[in-house]
Amino acid sequence: MACELKENYELKKHTTFKIGGCAKRVFFPATVEEFFELLNTLKNPIILGNCSNVLISSNGVKEDVIVTTKMNSYEFVNNTLTTLCGVKVPFLSKEAENKSLSGFEFMIGFPGTVGGAVYMNASAHSQAISDTFKSCKVYDLNSKKIIELNKDEMKFAYRSSILQEGNYILLEAKFELLPVLKEEISAIMQRNLEFRKGKQPGLSLPNAGSIFRNPPNDSAGRLLEKAGVKGLKQGGAQVWLGHANFIVNIEDATSKDVSILMNKMYNEVKEKYTIELVPEVKFIGVKSKEEEEIWNTLLKTK
């Protein structure tokens, strides 16, 4: 196969959590053609971007893995941006700023890629990826063909899109941005960065972003703070002291450490407020018996 392949690759060096065991084979496509060939050839591969909102099992991953970060081509034509799925969104945020184009200011501090941002309809500061989204090319797992989806077909909602239903894999996306004075865009981006500094740990403290989704008309962080989970520890994992909806890897944490800590957080909120928080972080890989039980509870799949 034409694209780069690494064998017995340690996934933790590729994740923002710095947690995860090995995958036997990891492929790094650089073009839509290479990605398409892999998707047509491999059986049920796991697809990863910048791994900024995933918890990868310390026991590793059995399946083949495709990492999209080498798919980093993009093009601006007037106000329209066409980008492959592996481009990092803070980079696009800066590129749009340089061209006096608005719509991506909210992603300046995000560690993820376009693929992850569209998959979860990333949002912050009253902006969302769906606001500027125009269309995309996806791989259809049923027909094994590349098809185009428009905005309506994407079923965008809070932190969700049709991609989460598992039939499509994003290859390329197109966005329509708005011309705005560069000074205004820069000011918004600066405010967003300042806000994140106080509310979220930097990647010098390995983390996977928000652990739980906000329930309707409430904040997971507020509920967790009131439930008193800040500073809770499990093995090498700790609920961040700066914000109760983040777990940081303080000392070689394992996926089991994080799973147990998430379960404690979930139970504290459920006990105090009868609200069952839904994980924002996705578990990938081989689960131990204890992890299986915890994640069945968290995802209500029992």
Domain with CATH 3.30.465.10 in the chain: 74-197
pLDDT of 209 higher than 70: yes
Which tens digit of pLDDT belongs to each residue from 223-261?
Answer: 999 999 999 999 999 999 999 999 999 999 999 999 999
Domain with CATH 3.90.78.10 in the chain: 220-298
State residue 199's pLDDT score.
81
Cα→Cα distances 168→128, 172, 189, 230, Å? 20, 12, 32, 38
Cβ atoms 19, 12 nearer than 8 A: yes
Confidence of residue 197 (pLDDT cuts 50, 70, 90): confident
State residue 196's pLDDT score.
82
126 catalytic? Reply is no
Distance between CA atoms of 80 and 280, rounded to whole angstroms? 30
Which one-letter amino acid corresponds to residue 82? T
Secondary-structure breakdown of the chain: helix, strand, coil percentages, each rounded to the nearest 5 = 30, 25, 40
| Cα dihedral value 194, 196, 201, 203, nearest 10 | -90
End-to-end C-alpha distance for the chain, whole angstroms: 40
Q: Which member of 280, 288, 292, 293 is catalytic? A: 280
DSSP 130-157: HHHEEEEEEEETTTTEEEEEETGGGT-B
Instruction: Give the residues across from 127 on adjacent strands.
Output: 124
Distance between CA atoms of 204 and 211, rounded to whole angstroms? 17
Q: What is the mean pLDDT of residues 68-81?
A: 97
Q: What is the mean pLDDT of residues 269-276?
A: 97
Share of the chain above pLDDT 90, in %: 89
57 catalytic? Reply is no
Domain with CATH 3.30.43.10 in the chain: 4-67
Distance between CA atoms of 51 and 208, rounded to whole angstroms? 8
Share of the chain above pLDDT 70, in %: 99
159 catalytic? Reply is yes
Could you count the other beta carbons within 10 Å of the beta carbon of residue 6? Answer: 13
pTM for this prediction: 0.91
Compute CA 28 distance to the chain's CA centroid, rounded to the nearest angstrom: 18
Could you count the other beta carbons within 10 Å of the beta carbon of residue 197? Answer: 12
Cβ atoms 87, 93 nearer than 8 A: no
Q: Which member of 73, 100, 135, 159 is catalytic? A: 159
User: Which 3 state secondary structure label does DSSP give 252?
Assistant: coil
| Cα dihedral value 139, 145, 148, 154, nearest 10 | -50
The CATH number given to 220-298 is: 3.90.78.10
What is the helix (H) or strand (E) element at residue 35, kind and residue range?
helix 32-41
Second CATH level (architecture) for the domain 74-197: 2-Layer Sandwich (3.30)
CATH top-level class of 4-67: alpha beta
Q: Which member of 161, 210, 255, 259 is catalytic? A: 210
